[in-house]
Amino acid sequence: MSEIVVQHPVGASVYEPSLFGTYSKKIGMWLFLLSDSLTFGALLFAYTYGRVSTPNWPTPFHSESIRNATIMTAFLLSSSLTMVFAVRAAVQGNAKAQRLWLLATMAFGLGFVILHGREWTNLIAEGLTLPMFPTPPGQGTGEFANVARDVPQFAATFFGLTGMHMVHVTLGVIYLGIIAFRKKFIPILLGLWLLAWLATPAYSPFHYGAHLILIAAIISAVILWLKPKVYDASDIEVAGLYWHFVDLVWMFIFPLVYLMSTKIIG
Amino acid sequence: MAAQDVHAHTAHAHAAPQGFVRKYVFSLDHKVIGLQYFFLALTAVFVGMILSLLMRIHLVWPGAAIPLIGEIKPETYLSLLTMHGTIMVFFVLTTAPQGGFGNYFLPIQIGAPDMAFPVLNMLSFWTTFVAFVVLICAFFVTGGAPLHGWTGYAPLSALTNTGPGEQLGADLWITSIAIFCVASLMGALNFITTTLDLRAKGMTMMRMPLTVWSWFITAILGLLAFGVLLSAGILLLLDRNLGTSFYIPLVVVNGQVMGHKGGSPLLWQHLFWFFGHPEVYIAILPGMGVASQLLSTFSRKPIFGYRAMVYAIMAIGFLGFMVWGHHMFMSGMSPYSAFAFSLMTMAIGVPSAIKTFNWLGTIHRGRVRFQTPMLFAIGFVSLFVSGGLSGPFLAQPTLDIPLHDTAFVVGHFHLIMGVAAIFGMFAATYYWFPKMFGRMMNERWGRIHFFITLVGAYSIFMPMHYLGMAGQPRRYSQFTELAYLHRLIPLNTFMTYAAIVTIAAQFIFVINLFWSMKKGPKASDNPWEATTLEWTTSTPPPHDNFGGMTPVVHHGPYEYSVPGAARDFIMQNDPATVTTSH
């Protein structure tokens, strides 16, 4: 035992070696992702259950939706790449490059959310709604109105799965913003909240959904107050794990929800 | 790697807090958080207990007017039942053993100064607290508390016009559960990371006390199970508030066709029980850990088959995820899948029996000290066996179908999951009270409390098995007018009297608890002559647990009566070189 003590620097020697020789935050994030994958797993199970038990599951997504979703996919994939660069810059201690790559990642993430929001808005306008969504004026005439009426599970699983994922991406952007800018990001968040709240009409789900940003801002402020620290390379790496996971989840949702429900013409 | 180690192990260090709020309210100290969990659970268990008393009174005197509440209506009875189950399962059985004792003693027992993520730990407690407050609010809103049972079966729970409690009360119930899921996830990943990363030098995995093993495996179960319940709860909220039909088929309520179609109530059952069955082990595993620790300590013998115990805990946790279907034999599932679930369920009997026989082997020919913690540990084993033996009955689909909706099942799960787990908590309280509060609890009143509670628990729950076999249904608010159950009324009355006496006896415990905190005799650092690390530090432990030191571990956790040793126990950090098998 005494040899081991000699081999380790002071401070490390009082503990048993940690799992895979890595640090606690990283293990914590892996565990969270494990649990979160079961959360998404349950949603995907619900989707599969609904789809398998419903005869004549509709396949209504026309090429515009698919094109949009493909661009969103490209955004997320690119954001994973910029995230990798951010982690590399952090490890090399290049603060400026790290911040720029994080900003690029956030921009791709934000672009994803905006495109996705546009997609939702279009679909809702075409009649794909949940029974108790507030209805936009003049809605209910598009071809998706039939789908929403005939197979309620379609809209429910679509909004449930993609909505949960959108929440994850939004929180991911906020997470990266806090890591990159700390306290300075809180006023930006509040601005984003006001913008999202005021710029969306009252019948839009995003009108209420915007309050998620406010809640996230409050929780971030509390955490920054409790643990005022400068984030280092390990924090960037852990945030990167989360970001790649959210990207990975989309790689399940895109084929299962979109591609498998593409309208086949001919 | 070495440099990362330094980094990893400085993250949790923090200075002792100043000021009342940072010290006792928003504390980052795992010991304070553990006590917060403990007292939250103590509050919750009394609420839950009073609800069960009201139910027992209503069952035998249906017309009785109860002070402040008046006569209990059928829907009120269902609300009582729902809230009793929810409070007990989530805020007592999940909160006290893991959040309370686990939080307090897991870091100390592995030689760590705190949890791996102290801020997360604090957030986890306060989130649990919010969940409890939200749940209690359900009593006071229009329509009152929900009446869909703690299992929240759809479509009853998924529609808003199925009963008075199914309005805002049910929404609050689901919200509370969802918040609780988030809290449990934060707690679980903290427990796992702490166990993996912050063990003192020499504290290898196979030298961890069995309490630590049980908290560790429980945390893994919580991590995997609560995420699924969170999803299930979100979908239920969508069904109720946005009109989706995840769990609701085309259904007619009170002659009115609801605007839902295409959903499946079975989806809820699958998702709920995928969480629900591991939850049973989340409640009972920490009790098993405490029983192992205490039986060894008070028998002055090493635990019989330490490795077998560890593997049995793992096996129970692993199998626990593959048996959820045995709660659904009544749902009309395919007999083939029922057969598979039945087989897996029976398989859990094997690790359970290994544990039971190891406990008996531990006591066998030991120099047993019958102090109160030991009595409760023995009581735990007794209740675990009594409640467990009816498990293989219910694991058979052919037997489960007639028994499932009767009092038989109620007796079964109350003995094994309810009372046995609570005996584990009592044992833990009497055992660790000196370390937590620096004083000893009163021994005589502890014994009186034990004997009344043991006899009382058996008197309440054993007859339920007979009632169930005689066909008395569960969840019915009133059956005194049913002719075929008339001859069972005296037995029901006896159970209610037993419940009143047992509940009264719990006040002995509470008075003993608070009285001993102030007036009990001062405790030494190691009053039970135990070996694990919490007994090496001062009483109560300092802020960083070991006063700036980190212990070095040289021994396994249960080295009692080692031949050649100076005393009949060897502390885990004792550098004395006695050759041991560990």
* Residue B578 pLDDT class (50, 70, 90 cuts): low
Residue B297: Cβ within 10 Å count? 27
Asked if the Cβ–Cβ distance from A8 to B2 is below 8 Å, we say: yes
Range of the domain at B279: 37-535
| B45 SS3 class | helix
pLDDT digits (tens, 9 = 90+) for B196-231: 999 999 999 999 999 999 999 999 999 999 999 999
pLDDT above 70 for B547: yes
Question: Closest to A24 (Cβ–Cβ): which among B116, B244, B259?
Answer: B116
Mean pLDDT of A189-197: 94
- Closest B-chain CA to A44: B231
Residues of chain B with C-beta less than 8 angstroms from the C-beta of A157: 246
Question: Closest to A131 (Cβ–Cβ): which among B200, B201, B243?
Answer: B243
Mean pLDDT of A10-32: 81
**pTM (predicted TM-score):** 0.93
Q: What is the pLDDT of residue B13?
A: 53
pLDDT above 90 for B21: no
Which has more confidence, B403 or A138?
B403
Residue A163: Cβ within 10 Å count? 17
Q: What is the pLDDT of residue A117?
A: 93
Distance of residue A132 Cα from the nearest chain B Cα, in angstroms:
4
- B559 found inside a domain: no
Question: Closest to A28 (Cβ–Cβ): which among B116, B202, B270?
Answer: B116
In one letter, which amino acid is B155? P
What per-residue string of b and e applies to B36-55 under the rule 16 or more CB within 10 Å gives b? bbbebbbebbbbbbebbbbb
Which residues between 109 and 168 in chain A have a beta carbon less than 8 angstroms from any beta carbon of chain B? 130-133, 151-153, 155-157, 159-160, 164
Predicted-complex ipTM score: 0.91
Residues of chain B with C-beta less than 8 angstroms from the C-beta of A178: none
DSSP-derived secondary structure for chain A: -HHHHHHSPTTTTTBPPPGGG--HHHHHHHHHHHHHHHHHHHHHHHHHHHHHHSTT----B-HHHHHHHHHHHHHHHHHHHHHHHHHHHHHHT-HHHHHHHHHHHHHHHHHHHHHHHHHHHHHHHTT---TTSPPPTT-S-STHHHHHHH-HHHHHHHHHHHHHHHHHHHHHHHHHHHHHHGGGHHHHHHHHHHHHHHHS-TTSHHHHHTHHHHHHHHHHHHHHHHS-----HHHHHHHHHHHHHHHHHHHHHIIIIIGGGBPPP-
Residue A16: Cβ within 10 Å count? 20
Q: What is the pLDDT of residue A5?
A: 32
pLDDT above 70 for A6: no
- DSSP-derived pairing of the beta strands B256-257 and B252-253: antiparallel
* Residue B3 pLDDT class (50, 70, 90 cuts): very low
Please state which of the ranges A259-263, B418-422, B506-510 shows the lowest mean pLDDT.
Answer: A259-263
A19 in B contact zone (CB under 8 Å):
yes
- B11 found inside a domain: no
Residues of chain A with C-beta less than 8 angstroms from the C-beta of B7: 23, 234
Distance CA(B515)–CA(B524), nearest Å, equals 18
Distance of residue A139 Cα from the nearest chain B Cα, in angstroms:
17
pLDDT digits (tens, 9 = 90+) for B519-532: 999 999 999 999 99
Q: What is the pLDDT of residue B4?
A: 40
* Residue B7 pLDDT class (50, 70, 90 cuts): very low
**What are the two backbone dihedrals, phi and then psi, of residue B252, each rounded to the nearest 5 degrees?**
-110, 125
Which has more confidence, A56 or B532?
B532
Which has more confidence, A78 or B1?
A78
Residues of chain A with C-beta less than 8 angstroms from the C-beta of B246: 46, 50, 153, 156-157, 160
pLDDT digits (tens, 9 = 90+) for A102-127: 999 999 999 999 999 999 988 888 88
Which residue in B231, B235, B268, B549 has the most chain A C-beta atoms within 10 A of its own C-beta, making it the best mutation to test that interface?
A: B231
* Residue B14 pLDDT class (50, 70, 90 cuts): low
- Closest B-chain CA to A232: B7
Asked if the Cβ–Cβ distance from B188 to A35 is below 8 Å, we say: yes
Q: What CATH number has the domain bearing residue B375?
A: 1.20.210.10
Give the count of domains, chain B. Answer: 1
**What are the two backbone dihedrals, phi and then psi, of residue B565, each rounded to the nearest 5 degrees?**
-80, 155
Please state which of the ranges B16-30, B196-210, B338-352, B414-428 shows the lowest mean pLDDT.
Answer: B16-30
pLDDT above 80 for A21: no
Which has more confidence, A176 or A55?
A176
Long-range (24+ apart) CB contacts under 8 A made by A187-191 are: A189/A213, A189/A216, A189/A217, A189/A220, A190/A214, A190/A217
Question: Closest to B201 (Cβ–Cβ): which among A15, A130, A223?
Answer: A15
Q: What is the pLDDT of residue B497?
A: 97
pLDDT above 50 for B479: yes
Asked if the Cβ–Cβ distance from B9 to A11 is below 8 Å, we say: yes
Asked if the Cβ–Cβ distance from A16 to B235 is below 8 Å, we say: no
Residues of chain A with C-beta less than 8 angstroms from the C-beta of B120: 28
Asked if the Cβ–Cβ distance from B244 to A227 is below 8 Å, we say: no
Query: What domains can you pick out in chain A, each with its CATH number?
Result: 61-260 (1.20.120.80)
Asked if the Cβ–Cβ distance from B246 to A160 is below 8 Å, we say: yes
- Residue B542 gets the label, from left (phi > 0), alpha (psi -120 to 50) or beta, of beta
- B556 found inside a domain: no
Question: Closest to B9 (Cβ–Cβ): which among A12, A36, A159?
Answer: A12
Q: What is the pLDDT of residue A66?
A: 92
pLDDT above 60 for B186: yes
Distance of residue B573 Cα from the nearest chain A Cα, in angstroms:
13
Q: What is the pLDDT of residue A96?
A: 94
pLDDT above 90 for B257: no
pLDDT above 70 for A4: no
Q: What is the pLDDT of residue B15?
A: 67
pLDDT above 50 for B403: yes
pLDDT above 50 for B385: yes
Residues of chain A with C-beta less than 8 angstroms from the C-beta of B178: none
What's the whole-number average pLDDT of chain B? 92
Number of inter-chain CB pairs under 8 A, A vs B: 176
Q: What is the pLDDT of residue A12?
A: 52
- B385 found inside a domain: yes
Q: What is the pLDDT of residue B422?
A: 97
Q: What is the pLDDT of residue B5?
A: 41
Question: Closest to B223 (Cβ–Cβ): which among A8, A23, A35?
Answer: A35
Residues of chain A with C-beta less than 8 angstroms from the C-beta of B198: 15, 24
Mean pLDDT of B22-46: 93
Question: Closest to A132 (Cβ–Cβ): which among B4, B5, B241?
Answer: B241
- DSSP-derived pairing of the beta strands B252-253 and B70-71: unpaired
In Å, what is the CA distance from A266 to each residue of A218, A256, B111? 52, 22, 69
Q: What is the pLDDT of residue A159?
A: 93
What's the whole-number average pLDDT of chain A? 88
**CB-count burial class (<10 Å; 0-12, 13-18, 19+) for B518:** exposed
Question: Closest to A156 (Cβ–Cβ): which among B204, B244, B264?
Answer: B244
Distance of residue A67 Cα from the nearest chain B Cα, in angstroms:
27
pLDDT above 80 for A134: no
Distance of residue B362 Cα from the nearest chain A Cα, in angstroms:
29
Q: What is the pLDDT of residue A138?
A: 67
A175 close to A236: Cβ distance less than 8 angstroms: no
Mean pLDDT of B142-149: 92
Q: What is the pLDDT of residue A143?
A: 78
Please state which of the ranges A59-63, B299-303, B319-323 shows the lowest mean pLDDT.
Answer: A59-63
Mean pLDDT of B346-362: 96
